[in-house]
């Protein structure tokens, strides 16, 4: 979704959203890790990475089931991680349009390995949050940047829900990241925060 379409979508949602509509506060504030995640650490033992995508959102909003696993690496680490995947019994399925490749792990899990040289990626990989099963999860500010850059409908929904439950310290960190790395979305970010906060009322 390009920035103009993203803005139109957000404007439409803001016109329609009602305070307190949708899920209960108890549900919105729930953070669980119930759906199993493959033990990717048993295969990727050397290459630095962080989990992104739907699995990563579990730390920041109510859990939803997702059938695949997405990770982010530096482009310069691609050869190393692919050697690890092959050695661990993974099979390459194809290439990703956003850069990277898709793999099928021995337990049949689909793994998308996203490669990036964006300037924030090193910081994101070096400072992960840890899931209950010790997976390195991308920090929220950089997850928001990724989702704004993608700007699919689900991404925008995720952003508003994650930020609706975030405190002001986290929101400031998100704003700094978006101003630095996704400048065309600064205004849209504030609208998504407002939508998320309305859901919490």
120-151 pLDDT per residue, tens: 999 999 999 999 999 999 999 999 999 999 88
Of 2-6, 61-65, 196-200, the poorest mean pLDDT is in 2-6
- What pLDDT does 29 receive? 63
Q: How far is CA 125 from the centre of its chain?
A: 13
Confidence of residue 52 (pLDDT cuts 50, 70, 90): very high
DSSP character at residue 58: G
Q: Is the pLDDT of residue 20 over 80?
A: no
Ramachandran category for residue 75: left, alpha or beta (phi over 0 → left; psi -120 to 50 → alpha): alpha
Partners of residue 74 on adjacent β-strands: 116
Residue 74 DSSP SS3? strand
Options 3.40.920.10, 3.30.460.40, 3.40.50.300, 3.30.1540.20; CATH for 31-138 is 3.30.460.40
How does the average pLDDT of the chain come out, rounded? 88
Cα torsion through 60, 61, 65, 68, rounded to 10: -30
Under 8 Å between Cβ of 148 and 2: no
Query: Where in the chain are the domains?
Result: 1-30+139-201, 31-138
pLDDT digits (tens, 9 = 90+) for 22-49: 555 565 566 667 777 888 999 999 999 9
> Side by side, which strands form the sheet with 50-52?
91-95, 100-104, 110-116, 68-74, 50-52, 136-137, 129-130
- Using alpha carbons, select from 87, 90, 114, 94 the residue that is nearest to residue 104: 90
């Amino acid at each position: 979704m390009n920035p103009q379409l993203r803005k139109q979508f957000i404007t439409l949602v803001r016109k329609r959203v009602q305070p307190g509509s949708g899920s209960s506060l108890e549900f919105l504030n729930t953070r669980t890790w119930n759906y199993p995640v493959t033990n990717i650490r048993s295969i990727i033992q050397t290459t630095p990475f962080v989990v992104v995508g739907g699995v990563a959102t579990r730390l920041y909003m109510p859990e939803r089931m997702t059938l695949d696993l997405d990770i982010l690496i530096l482009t310069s680490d691609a050869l190393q991680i692919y050697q690890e995947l092959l050695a661990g019994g993974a099979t390459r399925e194809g290439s990703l349009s956003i850069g990277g490749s898709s793999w099928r792990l021995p337990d049949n899990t689909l793994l998308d390995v996203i490669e990036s040289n964006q300037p924030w990626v090193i910081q994101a990989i070096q400072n992960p949050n840890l899931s209950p099963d010790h997976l390195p999860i991308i920090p929220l500010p950089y997850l928001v940047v990724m989702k704004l850059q993608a700007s699919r409908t689900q991404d925008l929904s995720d952003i508003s829900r994650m930020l609706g439950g975030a405190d002001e310290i986290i929101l400031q960190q998100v704003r700094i990241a978006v101003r630095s790395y996704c400048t065309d979305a600064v205004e849209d970010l504030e609208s998504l925060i407002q939508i998320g906060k309305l859901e919490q009322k």
